Structure 1
Amino acid sequence: MTTIQKKANNPIAHLSKEQIAELGRELDAIRQEIVDSRGADDAAYIRKVIKTQRYLEMGSRGVLLFSIFPPAWVLGTVGLSVSKILENMEIGHNILHGQWDWMRDPKIHSSTWEWDNVTPSDAWKHSHNEVHHTYTNIVGKDNDLGYGIMRVDEDQKWYPMYIAQPAWNFINACFFQYGIAAYDLELGKNLSRPKEKRPADFDDQVKKVLVKIRKHMTRDYVIHPVLSIPTGSFVPTIAANLVANWARNMWSHSVIMCGHFPEGVETFEREMLDEDETRGDWYIRQMLGSANISGSKLMHIMTGNLSHQIEHHLFPDLPSNRYAEAAVKVKAVFDKYELNYLERPLVPQIYSAWHKVVRLSFPNGWLETTTVKNLPKQVGVLAKMVTGGRKTRRALQRQLDDQARRRAVKVEKAEVVEAA
């Protein structure tokens, strides 16, 4: 993958400005149709999900009071994991997007909801709603592209630290809510600055995160385990909470990776913003910069309907239970304008995202030019690029680029001969 503007076969080159404008009007009409039809059934849906999640959490924690017994531990841990996923994905994420603000219910509103996540709602809404959804997949503007710690596009410069990105991506998955908190704070960037150059509210934001961490730790690893002491379930309850939080983190990370990381998702250059981006242009960026997961209704609910990532990015403030309905009409728009609607089942989509993380941990051209025969030599080249200075990396990168180009030409000629 490389930014769409640099592709030899630009997937939107066939569209005129008039067609892009018309595409924008058609998608606006789809959105407005759903906005006009929101009503009691939608409100009943989110209230039912919230009620189900809360009963599931309470019931699971009740079962874990007896988690000294293996069946109770398994049942309580699974139930608590599911309840945490529901709260994080279908409830918290979507309420904070303002999807249910139209209900005018002060208890289910983006301005009042505080979710079960160590990132405070206000900080997350800024980094996610305002930044990510505005600058979706623009290299250098959308920090969700690799969360600032990974290389997920060929046009991102390769540095030696990226060789370890598969490992730290897995670590990030295990502790995902803490990684997101650090990301929202821009922790590395701000801690490297002198105090006087940090945002004025940085210290306050750090304190808010620490307060939430303390509350979560106290609830999951002190209060509920202590309540389990009479049955001898103190340690099993701690273990159950650890597993439930880990499961929620792994699931959330996997679903979110599937939304923008898989092979086939497009990225864009900053210059796109300098060209007076129209509503239609913005829609196209969301359409081609996102990917869906196909599956059952239950799977969609457990992903917070982010399995409909394309529809979510087109219409982030629409009720999540309506994305499946919108998807049918959105697919028709893709077909009409000959655009690629990127959708795969869950496992292939996760594999695709991880494949890209691993592939781009290496310098451009390294994998393409590596064979079993030349592997020792290529490992030596990689070692020099990891340990060498900037000049060494540049020189070796030029060599890899030349080798990759020659190989591509050779493959192309072979295909032509085979076709003839």
Structure 2
Amino acid sequence: MTLAPERHTVSPTAPHHVAATHASTKPHGINPRLSVTSATPRPQRPALKKSGRPNPAAHLTPEQIEGIGVELDALRKEVMDSRGARDAAYIRKVIRVQRYLEMGSRAVLLFSGVKVKGVRPAWWIGTAGLSVAKILENMEIGHNIMHGQWDWMRDPKIHSTAWEWDNASPSSQWKHSHNEIHHTFTNVLGRDNDLGYGILRVDEDQRWSPFFLFQPIWHVGNALLFEYSIAAYDLELGGYLAKRKRMSEEEKAKFRRDAREVVDKIKRQATKDYVVHPALSAATFTGSARTTLTANVVANLVRNVWTNTVIICGHFPPGIATFEKTSIDGETRGEWYLRQMLGSGNISGSPAMHVMTGNLSHQIEHHLYPDMPSNRYAEIAPRVKDLMERHDLPYVEGNLAKQAASVYWKVVQLSLPNQVEGRRRRDIVRLSLKKAWKKKSLGRF
């Protein structure tokens, strides 16, 4: 099965000019199957999927699909071969700005308890600055570094194998669930757990159950506590709880080790934000310990909601396709590219907004080239859009408010079962609840 364009590695002893030409784009733990294993185009795609929904690529011939792959390969090579001082200066500037912003905001928060005419200006300024700093660290810096986008620079401080981010999820576990699983099986039902994170039904082809009736409520809760939800997701907590009775002792031991790693990471994060910095504020004798604590809580909430919003806008809006498990068997390079384009959506906006999203506002381009430096996505986006339009493929794009609203409405709609001709939704819900109650009652005896 083809999962991504070929990736080249560079020996640690390679000369600098060689390292600049070829990307060392295989972060520790990256799926070794991210390479081409099939070059034979498959038969014409059917007009409809098994669910009866239209296949957005049905009009393309196998030759056209492979032609798309060739064109996208050429674009990738052009950009990756041109990386250099401009790109290195960009990421170093972003890191420098983020660090100064965080340090400055935390210094301001030392006086967050001081009131001026009934208002605490230091609290508002410090909280806003810290929120932006945390967003930058997670989105444009941490996420992209851990994708290996900057490994070619051979700087050990910003290498994918060494970076640990300001987040509850340990980087090693995140790289496994995100780089290996999500980017390998993008939007494949039953394989890509990012498709609703196991708690949301975001596509009509996902099976409905009474569990999803309340998803509009916990969708909001998931956004507020997103870093902890992702930590539990990366840990595969749900799978462990469901299968622990059937797991071997070795599997249980591995889960316990991973769980300890998560707990230790959360402790470190909580100690820094909720103990150390409030204590430093207390030492200033300005009565700012409590206000510094609340500022850190608010900054983390803002970061969580923003990150969640950006991610759902790139993966769940209407018009984004999903794929069946069997559809990726024997997948060619062109078909892999096609799946990435159809399974992602973009957010339009200003350059500042793109930076604040970690350039995941260019989610289509990111899924095509996850290890390409993020500052290059904006320049290739028009060419990718032109390619898709020439082949009559939907380039899903909209502003942040439009995309976010469409996802929230979709979450509400898909909390109910699909409409079935001749049956009312409420009857389907009532019958399902009755079966679930009966099954639960029988399990007691």
Q: By the TM > 0.5 criterion, same fold?
A: yes
> 1:273 Cα shift?
2.0
After superposition, where does 1:303-382 map in structure 2 within 5 Å?
303-365=357-419, 381=427
1:34 aligned onto 2:111: no
* TM-score after normalising by structure 1: 0.87
- CA, structure 1 residues 202+8, in 2 after alignment: closer, same or farther (shift >3 Å)? closer
8 Å CA contact retained: 2:210, 2:429: no
Query: How big is each residue's C-alpha offset from its partner over 1:199-240, in whole Å with a ceiling of 9 and x where there is no partner?
Result: 652111111111110011111111100111121001101100
Counterpart in the other structure of 1:387: 433
Counterpart in the other structure of 1:57: 102
> 1:358 Cα shift?
0.9
1:114 aligned onto 2:164: yes
Q: Distance in 2 between matches of 1:109 and 1:319?
A: 13
Counterpart in the other structure of 1:231: 286
Query: How big is each residue's C-alpha offset from its partner over 1:104-140, in whole Å with a ceiling of 9 and x where there is no partner?
Result: 0000100011111111111111100011001000000
Counterpart in the other structure of 2:332: 278
Which of the residues 242, 256, 279 maps onto 1:203?
256
8 Å CA contact retained: 1:384, 1:392: no
Q: Distance in 2 between matches of 1:151 and 1:297?
A: 32
> 1:6 Cα shift?
4.1
Matched length: 383
- CA, structure 1 residues 136+232, in 2 after alignment: closer, same or farther (shift >3 Å)? same
After superposition, where does 1:86-125 map in structure 2 within 5 Å?
86-125=136-175
The amino acid across from 1:389 in the alignment is: K
Counterpart in the other structure of 2:306: 251
Counterpart in the other structure of 1:263: 318
Counterpart in the other structure of 1:403: none
RMSD: 2.1
SS in structure 1 of the partner of residue 158 of structure 2: coil
Structure 1: stretches of 5+ with no match in the other structure: 371-376, 394-420
Q: % of aligned pairs identical? A: 59
Q: Distance in 2 between matches of 1:169 and 1:58?
A: 33
The amino acid across from 2:195 in the alignment is: L
Q: Distance in 1 between matches of 2:203 and 2:417?
A: 11
> 1:251 Cα shift?
0.2
Q: Distance in 2 between matches of 1:268 and 1:390?
A: 28
1:219 aligned onto 2:272: yes
Query: How big is each residue's C-alpha offset from its partner over 1:349-396, in whole Å with a ceiling of 9 and x where there is no partner?
Result: 001111111111001118x999xxxxxx965x3662453106999xxx
The amino acid across from 2:123 in the alignment is: W
8 Å CA contact retained: 1:4, 1:267: no
The amino acid across from 2:58 in the alignment is: A
* TM-score after normalising by structure 2: 0.83
Q: Which moved more, 1:190-199 or 1:41-50?
A: 190-199
SS in structure 1 of the partner of residue 398 of structure 2: strand
Counterpart in the other structure of 1:240: 295
After superposition, where does 1:283-294 map in structure 2 within 5 Å?
283-294=337-348
8 Å CA contact retained: 1:5, 1:268: no
The amino acid across from 1:357 in the alignment is: V
The amino acid across from 2:248 in the alignment is: E
Q: Distance in 2 between matches of 1:72 and 1:337?
A: 54
Structure 2: stretches of 5+ with no match in the other structure: 1-47, 115-119, 440-445
SS in structure 2 of the partner of residue 293 of structure 1: strand
Q: Distance in 2 between matches of 1:73 and 1:283?
A: 47
The amino acid across from 1:101 in the alignment is: D
Write 1 or 2 for the structure with the bigger share of helix. 1
- CA, structure 1 residues 99+5, in 2 after alignment: closer, same or farther (shift >3 Å)? farther
